[in-house]
Every structure is written in C-alpha cells, then in structure tokens.
Amino acid sequence: MSAYLLRRLLLVVPTLFGIILINFALVQFAPGGPVEQMLAELRGEGQTLGRLTGEGGGETRAPTTGPGEGGGGSTYRGARGLDPAIVREIERSFGFDKPAHVRFGEMLAGYLRFDFGRSLFRDRPVWDLVIEKLPVSVSLGLWSTLIIYLISIPLGIRKAVRDGSRFDLWTSAVVLVGYAIPGFLFAVLLVVLFAGGSFVQWFPLRGLASSGAEAWPFWQRALDYAWHITLPTLTLVIGGFAGLTMLTKNSFLEEINKQYVLTARAKGAGEGRVLYGHVFRNAMLIIIAGFPAAFIGILFTGALLVEIIFSLDGLGLLGFEAAIRRDYPVMFGTLYIFTLLGLVMQIVSDFTYTLVDPRIDFEARR
C-alpha cells in the first residue's frame, strides 16, 4: 500500500501542472481581462472604477501585481483615445508587461511556496482571503454531508429490504424528484417560501450570523448559527441525498442476493444478523470510503450557487466574484487549492477502502 500511495502522491505534481497550464492558456484568449475592465472604467464604460480611482472613497492607488494574471493588454479597443503611457502603466501594475510564459513561471514558483500573490481588486493576499472564507464553506459542506449520510444510508437500507413494496415505490418518487431538480432551484423555492419571498420569513436570507452576535453568549450564538444555516444546508441535502440513497439500496441488493447470504440464512441466522452482521460491512464499503470525495464534491461544487443565493461569504462566492471581475490571482489560487485538495482526498478515499476492508490490495492491481 505504501508504494501505491507514493505513486499516487507523485502523480499529483504533473496533474496539478497540467490543470493549471490548461486553464492559464485558456485565460490568455479570454476577452475582458482586468486591464480591459480598467480601461473601460476609465472611459466611463465600466460599472465601477476599481482601486485606481479610490473605490469606496479611499486613497487612489495602482493595483498590486499578482502571479498568474492572464489576458488583457493594449490591443483592447477601449485603449484608443487614452494616453499610451497610462495604458502601459495599467499593464505594468497588473503584471501584463511581461510575456505569458514569464508570468506562468513566476506563478508556479510562487505556488511551490503557497504564495498565490495578491488580489487585483481587493489588495489582499489570496491566501488570506481563502483562509478567511474557508470556514463558511467547510461548515456548510460538513453539515450537509453528514446529514445526507444520516438520511440516505438508513433510507437506502430500508428500500433494499423492502424492495418492490409500496414504501419503496413512493420513496423512489421522492428520490427521483430530488435527483431531477437542481439544488439552486430548491434554494430559490426555500427563499420564496420561508425567507420573506412571498409567504413567511422564518429564516434569514444573508450570512451565517446576526448583526452583533459576537457579543452574545455561546449558546445564543450557536442557535443563531443554526438558524442561519438551516436553509442552505437543507438545499444541499435535498439535492444530494438522492444519489447516495440509490447507491446504498443497489449496494445492499447486490450483497443480499449473493451466495454467502443464502448460506447464512440456511444455517438459521436471523434476518438482523444476516443484514448487519454479514451484508452491512460489504455493502457499506463503497459508501463509507466515498465520504471524503463526497465532502469535497459538496464543498467545491454544490455549495457554489447556494452561497451566492444565500449571500454566504465563502469560497464559492469568492470564486464567483473573482470570475466576474477577472481577478486572476484569486481565480488561479482557488483553482490550485481546490485541485490539490481534490487529488489528496481521492488518495484518502483509496486509503479508506483498505481501512474498511483490509482484503483490498491496490498493489495487486494491474
């Protein structure tokens, strides 16, 4: 197992390099980079003037160069009519006065030290932004994943035991609805019904804490946190429990129909002992071992639109705003972190398989 884990860890490096390289190359051809946006703002065509014009009434200052910016340059038509010296200064301040391969090399050198540069529009280190937003996304993803497992596993087992019954049929209809409707539509529906949309306002619509909650006692802050996170978590649970429920049911059905189950029943073993003493461990192998990957999937994909809809200041909202504003250091920094975590969690999933069932030997695979 150690040799297999070592090979997987070594494969992380070329995989990361390939993903970052492809995305960096694509960005070079994408229109509307930060330089183009700044030039449009200077011509009065943008929505905000950014930091060059002292956003929010602050001091006027040029953007700080960040590693990994792409796109933009004096070829933008909006530069016509502006002093070329101003255009060159904007390009220099954003780091676009250097060739693409030089910027890519500097970006990789920084990433080796976990230095992701500074945000072009927030004037803060990307790493500080990620650390600041990470607890929101982690808490949302963790609670959602735990509740999904607590609901899906008992429900899937029940459906497998009562396969073809009326219970199985109507729960399958519920599962099908949850599987077919995107999670963000459930989020909109919950907002309309319970967050002051058109009916009642039982839950808040923004953030994970009320104003001034920092001064409250711990138990009151915990209740306030639960009150705020209820609708976002419910959205992810409704959208995510369907697949795991059917996976649990099919896994148990496959094991129940195997010969060793028939043998155990023939020897007089009770149904409970057969189900939880023989079937459970084998059927739960793929489900338990898939927990790390499921958590990462909810954390970095499913929570994106949920954070936007409920105005949760997490990684999903940070990435969305960075993409809209073409804040390339934030975009590439979060992409690097997400990819690295995803690859590491895949290795953790493989290791979990061996913990759940020691009979699995990845070294023997060809």
Is 80 exceeded by the pLDDT of residue 35? no
Q: d(Cα 194, Cα 38) in Å, to the nearest integer?
A: 40
Q: d(Cα 251, Cα 285) in Å, to the nearest integer?
A: 9
Give the per-residue SS3 of the chain. Answer: CHHHHHHHHHHHHHHHHHHHHHHHHHHHCCCCCHHHHHHHHHCCCCCCCCHHHCHHHCCCCCCCCCCCCCCCCCCCHHHCCCCHHHHHHHHHHHCCCCCHHHHHHHHHHHHHCCCCCECCCCCCEHHHHHHHHHHHHHHHHHHHHHHHHHHHHHHHHHHHHCCCCHHHHHHHHHHHHHHHCCHHHHHHHHHHHHECCCCCECCCCCCCCCCCHHHCCHHHHHHHHHHHHHHHHHHHHHHHHHHHHHHHHHHHHHHHCCHHHHHHHHCCCCHHHHHHHHHHHHHCHHHHHCHHHHHHHHHHHHHHHHHHHCCCCCHHHHHHHHHHHCCHHHHHHHHHHHHHHHHHHHHHHHHHHHHHCCCCCHHHCC
pLDDT of amino acid 61: 40
Is 60 exceeded by the pLDDT of residue 71? no
Q: d(Cα 127, Cα 52) in Å, to the nearest integer?
A: 23
Q: pLDDT band at residue 47, thresholds of 50, 70 and 90? A: very low
Look at 57-66, 71-80, 142-151, 340-349 and tell me which has the smallest mean pLDDT.
Answer: 57-66
Structure tokens at 245: 């429920």
Is 50 exceeded by the pLDDT of residue 62? no
Structure tokens at 326: 């073409």
Is 70 exceeded by the pLDDT of residue 302? no
Q: d(Cα 349, Cα 267) in Å, to the nearest integer?
A: 36
pLDDT of amino acid 77: 45
Phi, psi torsion values for 215, nearest 5 degrees: -90, 0
pLDDT digits (tens, 9 = 90+) for 232-281: 888 888 877 888 888 888 888 888 878 887 787 787 777 777 777 777 77
Is 80 exceeded by the pLDDT of residue 54? no
Q: pLDDT band at residue 356, thresholds of 50, 70 and 90? A: low
pLDDT digits (tens, 9 = 90+) for 326-351: 888 888 888 888 888 878 877 877 77
Q: d(Cα 123, Cα 66) in Å, to the nearest integer?
A: 10
pLDDT of amino acid 81: 56
Is 80 exceeded by the pLDDT of residue 288? no
The C-alpha angle with vertex 308 and arms to 307 and 312, in degrees rounded to 5, equals 45
Is 60 exceeded by the pLDDT of residue 282? yes
- Percent of the chain predicted with pLDDT > 90: 0
| More confident of the two residues 17 and 361 | 17
Is 80 exceeded by the pLDDT of residue 14? yes
Residue 320 CA from chain centroid, whole number: 11
| More confident of the two residues 273 and 83 | 273
* Residues 325, 326, 330, 333, Cα dihedral to 10°: 160
Structure tokens at 132: 């600041």
- Structural domains in the chain plus CATH codes: 2-124 (no CATH), 127-364 (1.10.3720.10)
pLDDT of amino acid 1: 66
Of 325, 257, 318, 355, residue with least CA distance to 129: 318
Is 70 exceeded by the pLDDT of residue 48? no
- Cβ 325 vs Cβ 37: under 8 Å: yes
Mean pLDDT of the chain: 76
Is 50 exceeded by the pLDDT of residue 72? no
Q: pLDDT band at residue 56, thresholds of 50, 70 and 90? A: very low
Question: What average pLDDT does this structure show over 199-218?
Answer: 81
pLDDT of amino acid 53: 34
> What global pTM score does this model have?
0.71
pLDDT of amino acid 190: 86
Of 345, 335, 270, residue with least CA distance to 17: 335
pLDDT of amino acid 258: 80
Q: pLDDT band at residue 45, thresholds of 50, 70 and 90? A: low
Q: pLDDT band at residue 357, thresholds of 50, 70 and 90? A: low
pLDDT of amino acid 161: 84
Q: d(Cα 208, Cα 160) in Å, to the nearest integer?
A: 38
- Cβ 207 vs Cβ 312: under 8 Å: yes
Query: Position of tokens 């999937």?
Result: 297
pLDDT digits (tens, 9 = 90+) for 108-133: 888 888 888 888 778 888 889 988 88
- HSE value, Cβ hemisphere, 13 Å, CA-based, for 23: 19
